[in-house]
Amino acid sequence: MVFPRSVLVTGANRGIGLGLVQQFLKHPEVEIIIATARDVSKATELNTIKDPRLHILPLTVTCDKSIDNLVEEVVKIVGEQGLNLLVNNAGIAVNYGTKVEISRAKLHEQLDVNSISVVLVSQKFLPLLQKGGAKSTAPDFTVGKSAILTISSGLGSIGANAIGSKTIIGFQSLAYRMSKSAVNQFNRTIAVDLESDGVLAVAFCPGWVQTDLGSAKAELTVEQSTSALVDSFSKLNKEHNGGFLNRKLEVIPF
């Protein structure tokens, strides 16, 4: 099992992001955990965690200035060692529109947070991740070296979509599905493009999880999902590069 020296998790004030931070804190190998929140002053649960390894910083993924400010702050924290792992977790799933009745504005909002912002956050952190990889003595293509992991969703699978827009909780998922399919393409494309830079890229479905987004009816607790995810992160190697996997490292069809 390999753990990163430093990790950054977006959207970490609640839900799966908060759970991932709590799981990373259990591992002493992880020396720096950067948890981002849109409004740090309202990140109540994160702010109650007293651990010198935890750094809580603001990030609105849809704002370029906010991303640039975060990069500047992270440089000060990680220093010459760079960053080993970026977890693109922040996401939204707004329930709007039935079938194809969705406005341009709502499509933009959905795709901006879940797809476009993942590209831009990853792009801005790439130099720090490359530095992290160059400085690390961990095995190649592990999260201890240099990795971009993206929390996608099984609903992003085109091959497994037999039910269309409607989901079992009545959520109309067309735009959400599109946003996650797009981010899966991003993941596969950068996995190939960044292979020569030694950066691992994998997309994960966390399962159906009891969060504000997943609803109270979901089958997994945040603890169950995120403990499995972090365990799987620690087992990643080059064979997984570009993959779309569930929390148990099983392959999901694109």
Q: Nearest CA to 152 among 241, 88, 228, 108?
A: 88
Query: Of 206 and 243, which CB lies nearer to ligand NDP in the complex structure?
Result: 206
Shortest distance, position 142 Cβ to ligand NDP, whole Å: 23
Fill in the amino acid letter for 40.
V
Could you say which residues in the range 171-210 bind ligand NDP, by CB under 6 A?
Answer: 205-206, 208-209
The span of 27-35, 70-78, 90-98, 133-141 binding ligand NDP (CB under 6 A) equals 90-98
| Residue 18 falls in which region: left (phi positive, over 0), alpha (psi -120 to 50) or beta | alpha
The verdict on 14 binding ligand NDP (CB under 6 A) reads yes
Instruction: Render the burial of 4-43: b for 16+ CB within 10 Å, e for the rest.
Output: bbbbbbbbbbbbbbbbbbbbbeeeeebbbbbbbbbeeeeb
Query: Of 136 and 187, which CB lies nearer to ligand NDP in the complex structure?
Result: 187
Applying CB under 6 A, which of residues 198, 218, 227, 231 lies at the interface with ligand NDP? 218
Shortest distance, position 83 Cβ to ligand NDP, whole Å: 18
The verdict on 153 binding ligand NDP (CB under 6 A) reads yes
Applying CB under 6 A, which of residues 4, 17, 82, 242 lies at the interface with ligand NDP? 17
Site string for ligand NDP, 27-66 (x = CB under 6 A): -----------x--------------------xxxx----
Quick count: other Cβ atoms within 10 Å of Cβ 239?
9
The span of 26-34, 87-95, 136-144, 244-252 binding ligand NDP (CB under 6 A) equals 87-95
The verdict on 122 binding ligand NDP (CB under 6 A) reads no
**Interface residue list for ligand NDP (CB under 6 A):** 11, 13-17, 38, 59-62, 89-93, 113, 151, 153, 205-206, 208-209, 211-214, 218
